[in-house]
Amino acid sequence: MSSDAAADLQRRIHAGIPLSRAMAYRITRLTDSAITVQAPLEPNVNVHGSGFAGSLYALGILTAWGLCAHLIARAGLQADLVVAEATIRYTAPVRTGICCSSAVSDADARDFLGSLAGHRRARARWRDPDRGRV
C-alpha cells in the first residue's frame, strides 16, 4: 500500500475528527487489509502518568474506523461510517507510546463489502483468533 493512501486517510481522519489531532494520532502502517496507528503518551496521559482510558478507547475506535473507511474507499463504495457499538477491556496500564492495530481476513472483508454493496448496510464483526470477537 502506498504511503499516499495512509497520508490521505490520516488527513481525512484529522479533518473529520479533531480529537485525533490533539491525540497526535498517526497511521504508521496501512495495507490492503490491516492498519497500525500510534499516538505518543504525553498528550494522552492520565493523573497516574499512564495512558488515559478515554484516549486508549478513542485510538482503538479510530483504528477500526480507519480500516473500515480504507476498505470502503478501496472498493469504490460510498457510505456513512458509524460506530454503533464497541467495548474495551483494560488489562494493564500503558506507560509508553500507544500503538493499536487492526486487520481483517480477505473473507471477512469480502462479506463486509458485499453486504454494504448489496444491502447498503453492513456490520464489521471481525474476530481475533486469540481473543474472540473484536
pTM exceeding 0.95: no
Q: Confidence band (pLDDT; 50, 70, 90) for 79?
A: very high
Q: In one letter, which amino acid is 43?
A: P
- The answer, yes or no, to whether residue 131 has pLDDT greater than 90, is no
Mean pLDDT confidence for 17-41? 96
User: 9-15 long-range CB contacts below 8 Å, 24 or more apart?
Assistant: 9/66, 9/69, 9/70, 9/73, 12/69, 13/62, 13/65, 13/66, 13/69
- Between 74 and 122, the more confident residue is 74
Answer yes or no: is pLDDT of 87 > 60: yes
What is the average pLDDT across 31-51?
96
Number of residues assigned to the chain: 134
What is the residue-averaged pLDDT of the chain?
A: 90
Sign of the CA dihedral running 48, 20, 30, 124: positive
Predicted confidence at residue 2, as pLDDT, reads 62
- Ranking 73-77, 85-89, 118-122, 127-131 by mean pLDDT, the lowest is 127-131
**Contacts (Cβ under 8 Å, ≥6 apart) of 69:** 9, 12, 13, 81
54-65: string of b/e by CB count within 10 Å (b at 16+)?
A: ebbebbbebbbb
Q: Collapsing DSSP states into helix, strand and coil, what is residue 99?
A: strand
